[in-house]
Amino acid sequence: MNEEKPARTSAALAALASGFGALAFAAVPARAQSGNHLEIIHHPNYDKSVFMPFSPAIKVKSGKILWLAGGTALPVYHDHPHKREQILKYLTNDLEGQVRQTMDGIMETLKAAGASPKDVVHVFIFRARPRMGDIGKASAVVNSYFAPHNHKPTTTNLAVLELGEPEQLVEIQVVAVVD
């Protein structure tokens, strides 16, 4: 049963990613918030008074796509199969804490690739055991990593039935574009 999960997850991510290309066709360019290889896209006459924690679309003008593996609150480099003591240490019952630890690992991986938060095109957030208000809590933590860079990547924030471990509350995958 566990062997089927990666295939389903990969297919779901591919379907989600392909759907975002359709957003750009009716959009008009706005001033770029990111590096020179990305262009933030907004609809004509959009309501600028509405707070949006993400951009509706980002056009990639140049560069290479950087796909990061799905990250969790476990350290980026951890044992496989997972060791119970690592799960108990890092996967505490705290959504915001798990999101913070996950984003710290993602920032380290971006840096190792020569990228920065400004290079991120899309963030996939998968939340397990969702409770009322979790989408806002997870989004607020994720957004705090991009706000200092005045950048809002496109985002998908989903509640899912389960993730890799019962204690795991979140998995986050990032796609970036680098020169």
Three-state DSSP class for residue 70: coil
Number of domains in the chain: 1
pLDDT, residue 53, reads: 74
- What is the chain's alpha carbon radius of gyration, rounded to the nearest angstrom? 17
Each residue's pLDDT tens digit, 45-62: 888 888 777 788 888 888
pLDDT, residue 104, reads: 98
Q: What is the CATH number of the domain that holds 22?
A: 3.30.1330.40
Which H helix or E strand runs over 53?
none
Low-confidence ranges of the chain (pLDDT < 50): 1-34
Question: Tokens at residue 177, please?
Answer: 């574009």
Domain of 42, in residue numbers: 4-178
